[in-house]
Each structure stands twice: as structure tokens, then as C-alpha cells.
Amino acid sequence: MQSRTPVPRAAGRPRSTTADTAILAATREALVELGWSKLTLGDVATRAGVAKTTLYRRWAGKNELVVDAVAELFDELELPDRGSLAADIEGVVLQFAAILARPEAKSGLMAVVAESVRDDALRERIRESIVDRQKCLVVEGRARAQARGELPPESDPLEAARTADLIFDVVAGAVVHRTLVSAEPADENWVHSFTQVLLLGLTSLSGTQKPAGSV
């Protein structure tokens, strides 16, 4: 049996949760003003009003700190039921695009992904706190579409997982590439065209082009 405060209280002075939120907010602020390369932990500590040593007690380095700071941006992602697969896709892609349009996301996200190429632990951290949550939306959206009869039910669960991974890479990759590489906004027109390609494919799309501006 355990007394009143079993495990969560470890004895000793507890870590200031205020400092945590202040540090993550300061990190995002520094990302906006300085960008990834000129962001220093000393500067973040000053902005947050904490000592530099406090930062190093909680995060191993710049990479981990920025992952946590950026991950909070994706907390607002959700998948409201808009009645059809096309509408669901457009809705969630627009949300995703809105987050990626923010400068702190642009500056930080790709940088940590680039770092994760040589750091397996970092990649796993990104997967857990950012990527997997997005992938769940794909799975849920497909389940809804199957319930509506818009997509046939999956027989092989392994094949279903592969398809979900594929869709996820296509959707997330396209929005990221549009936003960061092409450096043009993923606005309503673009998202609508993208959704048509995804749903109907290139050949089917050919005859159904619509004038820009209509919703």
C-alpha cells in the first residue's frame, strides 16, 4: 500500500510547471524572431526568465526542446464530421496548412526533421508527439468514409495500415512541400484541387476542373 502521495511526488522541491510553459513559449517566440539556426538556449532562457542550467536539466539540447515547443502547435488538430470524405479531407488539410503557415512551425519543424536523420531517438520523439497524432486522423477519416459507404471496407488489416501510411505521406508531404519548398500558401483553392486529385486521381480529375474561386 502507499500513503497519500504515492509515486508522482518524488520528494524534494517539485519542478516549476510555470517554468515549463514559459520556456516552451519563449522557444516559439525565439523561433519566430531568430529562426532555427540563430536560436540559442541562452537566449531562450533569458526570454523565459529562467537560468540556462534549468533548461539543460529538462531537455538534452536544442533539438528536443524545439520538438516539444512545436508539438504543442498541433494540439488543436481535430477531425469534425463534415458529412462527406471530401469535406473531411478539405477541413483537416486546411487546419494542417494553417498550422504550417505559422512562422514558428516553418522554422522549427523541418529543422528537427532534418536533424532526426542522424538521431533515432529524436525521430522517435517526433513520431510520438507529432506524427502519430496526425496519422490517427487519417485512420479515423477512412473509417468514417467506410461507414458512409464512400470507401469499401478493408478486409486485410495489414493492407489497410499500409494504405493509411501511404495516404498520410501523400497528404502531409504535399502540404509541407507546398508550404516550405514551393513557399506558396495552401489556401482553399489549392486544398480543393488537391482533394480532387487525391479522391479522383489525375485521369478522373481531367474533365471536372472548375473555375477558381467557387466553393
Partner DNA sequence: GTGGTTTCGCTACGAGTCGTAGCGTAATGG
Partner DNA sequence: CCATTACGCTACGACTCGTAGCGAAACCAC
Q: What angle do CA 186, 188, 193 make, to 5 degrees?
A: 85
Nearer Cβ to its own copies (49/173): 173
Rounded Cα distance, 129 and 70, in Å: 9
**Closest residue by Cα to residue 85 from 172, 200, 202, 207:** 200
Q: Contacts with DNA in 33-62 (CB under 7 A)?
A: 40-43, 49-54, 56-58, 61-62
How many residues are there in the chain? Answer: 215
Please pick, from the candidates 1, 7, 13, 215, the single residue that binds DNA as defined by CB under 7 A.
Answer: 13
Site size toward its own copies, by CB under 8 A: 59
CB of 1 to DNA, least distance (A): 13
175 binds its own copies (CB under 8 A): yes
Nearer to DNA, 14 or 207 (CB): 14
Residue 167: CB atoms within 10 A of its CB come to 17
Q: Which of 67, 99, 111, 164: binder of its own copies (CB under 8 A)?
A: 111
Instruction: List the single partner that 59 binds among DNA, its own copies, none, CB under 5 to 8 Å by kind.
Output: none
Nearer to DNA, 65 or 71 (CB): 65
Does the protein bind DNA through residue 119 (CB under 7 A)?
Answer: no
Instruction: Please name the amino acid found at residue 143.
Output: A
What is the contact surface with its own copies in residues (CB under 8 A)?
Answer: 35-37, 85, 103, 106-107, 109-111, 113-118, 123, 126, 131, 150-152, 159, 162-163, 165-170, 172-178, 180-184, 190, 193-194, 197-207, 209, 212
What is the contact surface with DNA in residues (CB under 7 A)?
Answer: 3-5, 9-16, 19, 40-43, 49-54, 56-58, 61-62
